[in-house]
């Protein structure tokens, strides 16, 4: 009862970094669907527990979250592999979206309760990325307008990926992740110029688009993969919402702990340009 009350009266009213119509879904349609689908209800309760964990810095809510998240995942997978998953299409889509939000919030809540300095273990990052990937997104790509003032940065990152990864297969995964990052920077700039804002879904499409093999390179603490991740962390600061509060800083500190001393210099740019400076750079 506590978790559902908190969801209805607090979490559903918190900005999610999404369009107003999406926000309304979390306030009305999704709770109604949750009353008919137990797996979706568990996902809402897990998200509510995470919000309480962040507000109260109380680890008991992390345990509650994990219990409900496990039930949500089990129910989601069972329904998806059932005889007629199309009947539950709306509930499955909503549950997948909430599981993705919770994966990011769970990492932030864990880091927030650490002794200083708080940071992400890279395994937490990769786990949250994999939970955000119900399937590889396939899209028709628009022609991408290059960002001339960032051209040197992406060129240097490409050279770093080549220098640090003599295996052609690893380099190709890094190159693809970097190209998706370049496209993300472009899309953020376009959104800022046309709408004056950026939706969370646009930014967090990057972990879904990159190759799964790139995420495994992060898991293996591959230096070039981590440095590319740092440049995504910087981009994530254009969206401010509770479930990713502190995500960039936790990620950058975690990356810094994994990098060899001679490569830590690559973090200077992401650390200096995050937040408002990043927005100013793209709007310039």
**pLDDT at residue 43 tops 60:** yes
What is the pTM for the complete model shown? Answer: 0.87
The single residue listed with the structure tokens 């979206």 is 97
Instruction: Round the average pLDDT of the chain to a whole number and report it.
Output: 88
pLDDT tier for residue 274 given thresholds of 50, 70 and 90: confident
pLDDT tier for residue 283 given thresholds of 50, 70 and 90: low
Q: How far is the C-alpha of 185 from the C-alpha of 190, rounded, in Å?
A: 9
Do residues 66 and 75 lie in contact, with contact meaning Cβ atoms separated by under 8 Å? Answer: no
**pLDDT at residue 99 tops 90:** yes
For the chain, counts of helices (H) and of strands (E): 16, 0
Digit-coded pLDDT (tens) for 249-272: 999 999 999 999 999 999 999 998
Q: Would you give the DSSP letter of residue 117?
A: S
Digit-coded pLDDT (tens) for 68-89: 999 999 999 999 888 888 889 9
pLDDT tier for residue 145 given thresholds of 50, 70 and 90: very low
CA-CA distances (angstroms) from residue 284 to 193, 235, 278?
10, 15, 10
Q: How far is the C-alpha of 279 from the C-alpha of 284, rounded, in Å?
A: 8
Query: Looking at residues 222-244, what average pLDDT do you find?
Result: 94
Q: How far is the C-alpha of 277 from the C-alpha of 180, rounded, in Å?
A: 21
Q: How far is the C-alpha of 190 from the C-alpha of 153, rounded, in Å?
A: 19
Query: Pick from 66, 68, 46, 55: which is nearest to 113 by CA?
Result: 55
Residue 109 structure tokens: 């809540």
- Of residues 115 and 145, more confidence is placed in 115
Digit-coded pLDDT (tens) for 125-142: 999 999 887 544 333 334
> Out of 157-161, 184-188, 209-213, which region has the weakest mean confidence (pLDDT)?
157-161
Q: How far is the C-alpha of 271 from the C-alpha of 264, rounded, in Å?
A: 11
Digit-coded pLDDT (tens) for 193-232: 898 889 999 999 999 999 999 999 999 999 999 999 999 9
Full DSSP string of 193-231: HHTSS--HHHHTTHHHHS-HHHHHHHHTT-HHHHHHHHH
């Amino acid at each position: 009862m506590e978790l559902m009350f908190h969801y209805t009266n607090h979490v559903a009213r918190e900005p999610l970094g999404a369009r107003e119509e999406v926000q309304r879904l979390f306030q009305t349609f999704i709770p109604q669907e949750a009353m008919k689908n137990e797996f979706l209800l568990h996902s809402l309760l897990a998200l509510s527990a995470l919000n309480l964990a962040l507000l109260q810095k109380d680890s008991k809510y992390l345990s509650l979250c994990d219990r409900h998240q496990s039930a949500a995942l089990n129910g989601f997978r069972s329904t998806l592999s059932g005889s007629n998953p199309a009947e539950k299409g709306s509930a499955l889509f909503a549950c997948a979206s909430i599981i993705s939000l919770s994966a990011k919030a769970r990492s932030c809540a864990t880091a927030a309760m650490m002794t200083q300095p708080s940071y992400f273990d890279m395994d937490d990052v990769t786990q949250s990325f994999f939970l955000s990937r119900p399937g590889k997104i396939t899209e028709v790509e628009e022609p991408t307008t290059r960002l001339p003032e960032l051209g040197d940065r992406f060129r240097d990152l490409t050279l770093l990926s080549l220098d640090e990864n003599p295996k052609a297969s690893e380099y190709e995964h890094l190159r693809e992740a970097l190209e998706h990052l370049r496209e993300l920077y472009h899309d953020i700039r376009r959104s800022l110029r046309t709408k004056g804002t950026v939706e969370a879904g646009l930014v967090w499409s990057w972990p879904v688009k990159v190759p799964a093999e790139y995420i495994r390179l992060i898991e293996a603490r591959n230096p070039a993969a981590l440095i590319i991740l740092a440049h995504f962390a910087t981009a994530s600061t254009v969206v401010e919402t509770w479930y990713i509060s502190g995500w960039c800083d936790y990620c950058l500190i975690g990356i810094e702990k994994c990098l060899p001393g001679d490569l830590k210099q690559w973090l200077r740019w992401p650390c200096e340009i995050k937040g408002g400076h990043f927005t100013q750079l793209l709007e310039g």
